Amino acid sequence: MKTVKPSIRVAAWPAFIETGNPYASLLYRQIVDLGINVEEANFLPLFFHPPDILHVHFPDSIMKGGLVVSSIRTLLFVCLLTYLKLLGTKIVWTVHNLKPHGVSFPKLSRWYWKKFTARLDGLVCLTEGGKISIEKEFPYLSNIPHVVTPHGHYKGHYKDTLTNEEARNKLDLLPNERVLLHFGNMRSYKNVPNLLRAFRKTKNSSTRLIIAGNAPGGANLDVFRHELEDLVDNDDRIDLHVRFIADDEVEKFFKACDLVVLPYNNIQNSGAAILALTFGRPVLVPNIGAMHELQQLCGEKWVYLYEGEISSEILEANLNALTKPEGHKKVLKVLGWKDIGIKTISFYRQLLN
């Protein structure tokens, strides 16, 4: 007689709500397709209907507002985690970043991270290096179960119908130009000012740089744009698109470029790098965090690494070495969601058993 595995009830924060990065919704759509019940983690209902698994992705997002509001929110969340653990819920964290990018209240943040990590039952790490790094930061986490799954691709989430020529026409780019792209919200760790300084020192008049993305949270958009314009200093090879980029616009930037440049000075994983690979565009990233593992996973013709600070020499050398990579279908298979979903469900069952 065939044994039917019991259903698992998962509450995820976030699950299907779009937060700027569709990683979670892509993961849970796959997990639902594999027969698991997944719901959005609305915290008040969790008190009355505890799930089998509470899966948290961006725990630092609980700290919103001023100090008083953030303190209340973090305290209530820690109390919720404590209560759920007493009732048998297993608490899982996917480690997207080791630390939040920017901390408004350092003392509160240190207290919260200590309490949050102490209540975890399992870790999902996107790379082996991420596992090692998080255990260095919080040594006691080496005592709890973990699973390593790659960051999945974004294929199917964004439009992908334009040719290179059509995308370039939309952005007024010439066919013979070599086009670099930096894409994403321009928080300080993304190092956009230094990229602009480095590019301005390059000498090839047929090379273009596109900067596309919104100003960092809390910044005045006009003021931020003017600061970047001052750095551009009338270099007509640089195009600034400093604004919110709607989902249906994303493809034209990636399909128009030859190389995506992400000169971050602090990074563990990169959704923008995965997005570049999704659109079949190679990416240039610093050799920090999990970027070396991403290169090993996808290949040296897809992920170019550099050491130190971004410079004109690095940009020119990598453009000269750039070739059209082959094997895009293989890259998408390596980053496919089905295997990620199967491994995640298996990990849930491991924790519950």
What are the residue boundaries of the structural domains of the chain, listed by start? 9-152+336-352, 164-334
Average of per-residue pLDDT values in the chain: 93
Query: For residue 187, what pLDDT is reported?
Result: 87
Tell me the CATH number of domain 164-334, given options 3.50.50.60, 3.30.450.20, 3.40.50.2000, 3.40.50.970: 3.40.50.2000
Sorting pLDDT into bands at 50, 70 and 90, what band is 3?
very low
Q: Are 165 and 172 in contact (CB under 8 A)?
A: no
Q: What are the tens digits of pLDDT across the range 175-222?
A: 999 999 999 999 888 999 999 999 999 999 999 999 999 987 666 778
| Domain 9-152+336-352, classified CATH 3.40.50.2000, yes or no | yes
Sorting pLDDT into bands at 50, 70 and 90, what band is 101?
low
Burial per residue of 130-147, b for 16 or more beta-carbon CB atoms within 10 angstroms, e otherwise: bbebbbeebeebeebebb
Q: What are the tens digits of pLDDT across the range 183-196?
A: 999 988 899 999 99
Decide if pLDDT at 85 tops 90: yes
Q: What is the pTM of this model?
A: 0.90
Q: What is the Cα 87 distance to its own chain's centre?
A: 32
Sorting pLDDT into bands at 50, 70 and 90, what band is 4?
very low
Domains 9-152+336-352 and 164-334 share a fold: yes
Q: What percent of the chain has pLDDT over 90?
A: 82
